[in-house]
């Protein structure tokens, strides 16, 4: 990066694991769009949560002040990250916690697996954690003969259904109650065969199923929402009590956390514990939050470990225009207001991190050149709703535009057949230099129509975007209307106004 | 070869080679109460009930009777060793073989806790605006496990421990103690967003606000 830092790695160290799309966003979105059930459920979910959010946010006269404080706190934490990490480490360690550092997903998985094995057990209970999903921990543990039981109801549904989460807050929202019932009847050995599809009954079946596990587990694995540098404290925010079970009952607790979760001081909680629950579930406060600082004698786990993971976070940090993506507190508000997410669902983004934040965070962590993730920054109409909703004011549209520029740059100078994306970008490049011309992104869609023959089917697309795929089948030509045009025609001003916090 | 710790710290330093400024955090948000004590207490009650918690407001003299009523159906209950004996100074509770004390040296095992229906604890601070009650593991609140495993949590809130907003609560918290923030009974909305109260934590939360404590 700079000649001053002689001997330091000059290339960003990108992340691995579940950060990569397995296919490009346009392709994935294409078949996810065909899933009507999912889209109906998702629309219901995103709209209900965002209505609740607007209501509880509207209750606070100082919401904008809290957002500004949250944004500045995160910016300060990132700018001072090495010192804060060392301060945190010293405090956490002084109270009996043990810290492990992991450069990437593989190293983190190895560390966790060996910590579990040390405890002589082949089972662990887990509380929902994005970081462990990102690094693919469950699969790694399974390969090592260790069974990980997800204990969050939605994660349990996803795990028992051999499925993938579709939303970071309500990961099983794509399943309706009768599907959940079928999964439980099929996968829970001692479930009551008379189980109905009443959500209360289903939740109680999960309670019964997991209770024995909680009471007997030797090892729990968690993530963390916050790490407080000045005290060495970790915190987990949750609803069901499965978090408290995991954080309290087993003798060994292993927490896996990205290095960006640091907050400078404990008092910062007065800001973030107002911002997070209201933005996330739309509640004034989530039912349960637990904080722990190393080991407390006679109370809770006596072996307390923390694995601090990079896995591409430093790569994101090295991008001065993109690094604020690391401020994300994973509330999911940006997803719930995103018109693209609402239609494609979380699966289309491939990565653990879906929606608007995923569209910037995944390519920042893997590098824009990473296979298929380069299409993610285009998964947006740049309408700005995500920015307005974000409790820490991450300017997602601006970073999307920045990453589109990076993507175009990364392709420049490489002599090869132009891809569809190149063709689109050629026309659109100048548009991104000016906010007034952003419409042009969708105006590039007609290029796809040009590529289609008279029968309105694209027989063959050049380039890597869809080339291999269209070789075997036809895809329908893009719609005549661009997304933005369609959106404008479908929505009156009053409707879109609801995404602006009602202000 | 460089260890992971050194390598990550160096990666960070290298990523921050442009030396971004550390901004001042604007703390213009509310930091003190603007409601009367009476209104704050009412706000807490109303918002706890919103979460489907059951709330009683009593004087210290009425507290033992209220606890007795709440525990009427309890088959057994655990109390932390520092809970004031005076809170049980009523006929039904004074000598009660349903009561088991969790104390240093006499810790209940997880299966023993699981066999009890209820727990009674005090609390450290309560925030009215979000209806949040904080337990910090003090002798009158006990280990985290005792307020987690039994299905009914009777939680005593002294009125003097109620604040209006979260920033006011921070100075009353010792953050390095094991903290549990409780806002209503456990709940899930994971199936079609339909809220179900009571999953893994206590399914019944009974809050008793004591006006003169
Ligand atoms: S980017 Fe902002 S709105 Fe989106 S999940 Fe992160 S914190 Fe929430």
pLDDT tens figures, A382-414: 899 999 999 999 999 999 999 988 888 877 755
Provide the 3-class DSSP secondary structure of residue B25: coil
Q: What is the sign, positive or negative, of the torsion defined by CA atoms of A311, A276, B165, B184?
A: negative
Distance from the alpha carbon of residue A46 to the mean position of ligand 1, in angstroms = 14
H-run or E-run covering A199? helix A199-216
pLDDT tens-digit readout, A409-424: 877 755 444 444 444 4
In our burial notation (b when 16+ CB lie closer than 10 A, e otherwise), range A323-334 reads bbbbbbbbbbbb
Reported confidence tier of residue A75, pLDDT bands at 50, 70, 90: very high
pLDDT tens-digit readout, A170-200: 888 888 888 999 999 999 988 888 999 999 9
Share of chain A above pLDDT 70, in %: 78
Q: Which has the minimum average pLDDT: A139-153, A264-278, A417-431, B47-61?
A: A417-431
pLDDT values of chain B reduced to their tens digit, one per residue, 213 residues = 679 999 999 999 999 999 999 999 999 999 999 999 999 999 999 999 999 999 999 999 999 999 999 999 999 999 999 999 999 999 999 999 999 999 999 999 999 999 999 999 999 999 999 999 999 999 999 999 999 999 999 999 999 999 999 999 999 999 999 999 999 888 888 888 888 887 888 999 999 999 999
Return d(Cα B137, Cα B151) in angstroms, integer. Answer: 19
Return d(Cα A254, Cα A111) in angstroms, integer. Answer: 10
Our answer on whether the CB atom of A390 is closer than 6 Å to any ligand 1 atom is yes
Return d(Cα A302, Cα A294) in angstroms, integer. Answer: 9
For residue B179, give the DSSP letter: E
> Pick from A332, A391, A489: which is nearest to A73 by CA?
A391
Residues pairing with B44 in the sheet? none
Reported confidence tier of residue A34, pLDDT bands at 50, 70, 90: low
- Look at residue A501 in the predicted model and tell me its pLDDT: 37
Residue of B4, B180, B182 for testing the chain A interface, max A β-carbons within 10 Å: B4
* Sheet of strand A262-263: strand arrangement: A262-263, A226-228, A233-238, A288-292, B179-182, B132-135, B125-127, B162-163
- Residues with Cβ within 8 Å of B112's Cβ and at least 6 positions away in sequence, in order, are B100
- Look at residue A431 in the predicted model and tell me its pLDDT: 39
Our answer on whether the CB atom of A395 is closer than 6 Å to any ligand 1 atom is no
Distance from CA of A359 to the nearest CA of B (A): 21
> B105 — contact with chain A (CB < 8 Å)?
no
- Domains of chain B and any CATH numbers: 35-210 (3.40.50.10420)
Distance from the alpha carbon of residue B142 to the mean position of ligand 1, in angstroms = 36
- Are A168 and A130 spatial neighbours (Cβ–Cβ below 8 Å)? yes
Return d(Cα A226, Cα A240) in angstroms, integer. Answer: 19
> Pick from A449, A432, A442, A436: which is nearest to A381 by CA?
A442
* Mode of pairing for the β-strands spanning A303-309 and B179-182: unpaired
Return d(Cα B109, Cα B146) in angstroms, integer. Answer: 10
Whether A447 has a pLDDT exceeding 70, the answer reads no
Q: Which two tokens stand for residue A255?
A: 């927490």
Number of Cβ atoms within 10 Å of the Cβ of B72: 7
Return d(Cα B170, Cα B162) in angstroms, integer. Answer: 12
Return d(Cα A486, Cα A479) in angstroms, integer. Answer: 10
> B18 — contact with chain A (CB < 8 Å)?
yes
Provide the 3-class DSSP secondary structure of residue B96: coil
What's the average model confidence in pLDDT over A68-75? 98
Return d(Cα A497, Cα A396) in angstroms, integer. Answer: 18
Q: Which two tokens stand for residue B39?
A: 């209104």
- Residues with Cβ within 8 Å of A32's Cβ and at least 6 positions away in sequence, in order, are A38, A344, A345, A347, A348
Q: Which has the minimum average pLDDT: A7-21, A356-370, B179-193?
A: A7-21
By Cβ distance, the residue of A12, A44, A65 closest to B29 is A65
pTM beyond cutoff 0.95: no
Report in angstroms the alpha-carbon separations of B124 from B68, B133, B155, B157, B206: 22, 8, 11, 8, 16
- Look at residue A6 in the predicted model and tell me its pLDDT: 40
Number of Cβ atoms within 10 Å of the Cβ of B104: 10
> Pick from B117, B152, B147: which is nearest to B134 by CA?
B147
- Are B185 and B205 spatial neighbours (Cβ–Cβ below 8 Å)? yes
- Are A231 and A188 spatial neighbours (Cβ–Cβ below 8 Å)? no
Provide the 3-class DSSP secondary structure of residue A124: strand
Q: Please indicate whether residue A105 or residue A487 has the higher confidence score (pLDDT).
A: A105
Return d(Cα A249, Cα A299) in angstroms, integer. Answer: 9
Length of chain B: 213
- Look at residue A10 in the predicted model and tell me its pLDDT: 55
Report in angstroms the alpha-carbon separations of B49 from B56, B160, B163, B181: 10, 20, 17, 17
Whether A96 has a pLDDT exceeding 50, the answer reads yes
Q: Please indicate whether, in this complex, the C-beta atoms of A284 and B17 are within 8 angstroms of each other.
A: no
Whether A146 has a pLDDT exceeding 50, the answer reads yes
> Pick from A278, A271, A281: which is nearest to A68 by CA?
A271
Distance from the alpha carbon of residue A478 to the mean position of ligand 1, in angstroms = 30
Distance from the alpha carbon of residue B54 to the mean position of ligand 1, in angstroms = 34
Our answer on whether the CB atom of A165 is closer than 6 Å to any ligand 1 atom is no
- Look at residue A119 in the predicted model and tell me its pLDDT: 96
Q: How high is the mean pLDDT of chain A?
A: 81
What's the average model confidence in pLDDT over A4-25? 67
- Look at residue A489 in the predicted model and tell me its pLDDT: 54
Q: Please indicate whether residue A151 or residue A349 has the higher confidence score (pLDDT).
A: A151
- Look at residue A450 in the predicted model and tell me its pLDDT: 36
- Look at residue B178 in the predicted model and tell me its pLDDT: 97
Q: Which of residues 53-82 of B touch A (CB under 8 A)?
A: none
By Cβ distance, the residue of A8, A151, A296 closest to B137 is A296
- Look at residue A187 in the predicted model and tell me its pLDDT: 92
A258 φ/ψ angles, rounded to the nearest 5 degrees: -70, 150
By Cβ distance, the residue of B5, B25, B179 closest to A73 is B25
Radius of gyration, alpha carbons of chain B: 21
Q: Which two tokens stand for residue A193?
A: 């065969």
Find where tokens 């807050």 sit.
Answer: A169
Whether A219 has a pLDDT exceeding 60, the answer reads yes
The dihedral region occupied by A241, where left means phi > 0, alpha psi between -120 and 50, and beta the remainder, is left
* Angle ∠(A487,A489,A492) on CA atoms, nearest 5: 90
- Domains of chain A and any CATH numbers: 80-315 (3.40.50.10420), 439-503 (no CATH)
- Look at residue A470 in the predicted model and tell me its pLDDT: 33
Reported confidence tier of residue A476, pLDDT bands at 50, 70, 90: very low
- Look at residue A32 in the predicted model and tell me its pLDDT: 67
**Residue whose CA is at the smallest distance from ligand 1 atom 8:** A331
pLDDT tens-digit readout, A298-313: 999 999 999 999 999 9
- Look at residue A482 in the predicted model and tell me its pLDDT: 47
- Look at residue B116 in the predicted model and tell me its pLDDT: 97
Q: How far apart are the first and last CA of chain A?
A: 43
For residue A337, give the DSSP letter: T
């Amino acid at each position: 990066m700079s000649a001053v830092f002689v001997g330091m790695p000059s290339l960003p160290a990108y992340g691995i694991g579940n950060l990569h799309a397995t296919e490009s966003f346009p392709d994935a979105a294409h078949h996810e769009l065909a899933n009507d059930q999912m889209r109906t459920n998702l629309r219901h979910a995103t709209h209900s949560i965002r209505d609740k959010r607007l209501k509880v946010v509207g209750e606070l006269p100082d919401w904008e002040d809290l957002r500004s404080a949250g944004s500045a706190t995160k910016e300060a934490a990132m700018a001072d990250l090495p010192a804060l990490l060392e301060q945190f480490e010293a405090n956490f360690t002084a109270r009996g916690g043990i810290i492990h550092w992991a450069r990437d997903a593989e190293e983190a998985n190895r560390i966790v697996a060996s910590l579990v094995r040390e405890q002589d057990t082949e089972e662990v209970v887990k509380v929902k954690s994005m970081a462990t999903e990102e690094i693919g921990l469950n699969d790694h543990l399974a390969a090592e003969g260790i069974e990980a039981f997800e204990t969050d109801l939605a994660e349990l549904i996803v795990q028992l259904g051999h499925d993938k989460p579709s939303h970071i807050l309500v990961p099983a929202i794509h399943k309706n109650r009768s599907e959940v019932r079928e999964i439980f009847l099929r996968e829970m050995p001692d479930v009551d065969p008379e189980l109905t599809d009443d959500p209360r009954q289903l939740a109680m079946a999960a309670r019964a199923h997991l209770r024995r596990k909680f009471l007997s587990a030797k090892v729990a694995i968690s993530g963390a929402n916050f790490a407080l540098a000045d005290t060495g404290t970790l915190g987990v925010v949750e609803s069901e009590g499965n978090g408290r079970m995991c954080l309290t009952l087993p003798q060994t607790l292993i927490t896996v956390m990205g290095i960006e979760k640091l907050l400078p001081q404990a008092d910062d909680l007065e800001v973030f514990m107002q911002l997070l629950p209201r933005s996330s579930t739309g509640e004034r406060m989530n039912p349960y939050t637990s904080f722990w600082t190393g080991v407390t004698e006679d109370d809770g786990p006596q072996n307390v470990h923390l694995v601090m993971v990079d896995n591409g976070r430093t790569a994101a940090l090295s991008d001065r225009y993109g690094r604020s993506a690391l401020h994300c507190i994973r509330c999911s508000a940006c997803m719930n207001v995103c018109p693209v997410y609402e239609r494609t669902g979380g699966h289309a983004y491939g990565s653990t991190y879906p929606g608007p934040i995923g569209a910037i965070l995944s390519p920042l962590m893997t590098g824009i050149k990473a296979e298929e993730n380069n299409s993610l920054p285009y998964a947006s109409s740049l309408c700005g709703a995500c920015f307005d909703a974000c409790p820490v004011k991450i300017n997602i549209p601006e970073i999307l535009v920045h990453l589109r520029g990076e993507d175009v740059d990364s392709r420049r100078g490489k002599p090869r057949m132009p891809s569809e994306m190149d063709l689109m970008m050629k026309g659109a490049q100048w548009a991104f230099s000016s906010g007034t011309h952003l419409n042009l992104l969708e105006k590039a869609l007609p290029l796809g129509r040009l590529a289609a023959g008279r029968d309105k089917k694209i027989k063959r697309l050049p380039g890597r975007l869809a080339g291999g795929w269209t070789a075997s089948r036809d895809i329908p030509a893009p719609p005549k209307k661009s997304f933005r045009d369609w959106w404008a025609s479908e929505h009156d001003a009053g409707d879109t106004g609801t995404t602006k916090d009602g202000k | 070869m460089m260890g992971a710790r050194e390598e990550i710290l160096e990666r960070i330093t290298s990523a921050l080679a442009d030396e971004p400024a550390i901004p001042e955090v604007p703390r213009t948000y509310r930091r003190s109460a603007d409601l009367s004590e009476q209104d704050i207490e009412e706000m807490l009650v109303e918002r706890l009930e919103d979460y489907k918690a059951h709330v009683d407001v009593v004087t210290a003299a009425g507290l033992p009777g209220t606890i007795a009523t709440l525990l009427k159906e309890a088959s057994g209950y655990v109390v932390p060793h520092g809970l004031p004996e005076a809170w049980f100074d009523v006929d039904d509770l004074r000598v009660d073989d349903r009561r088991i004390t969790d104390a240093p040296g006499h810790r209940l095992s997880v299966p023993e806790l699981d066999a009890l229906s209820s727990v009674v604890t005090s609390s450290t601070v309560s925030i009215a605006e979000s209806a949040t009650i904080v337990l910090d593991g003090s002798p009158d609140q006990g280990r985290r496990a005792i307020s987690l495993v039994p299905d009914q949590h009777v939680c005593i809130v002294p009125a003097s421990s109620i604040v209006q907003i979260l920033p006011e609560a921070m100075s009353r918290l010792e953050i390095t103690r094991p903290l549990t923030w409780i806002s209503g009974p456990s709940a899930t909305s994971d199936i079609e967003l339909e809220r179900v109260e009571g999953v893994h934590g206590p399914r019944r939360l009974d809050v008793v606000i004591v006006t003169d404590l």
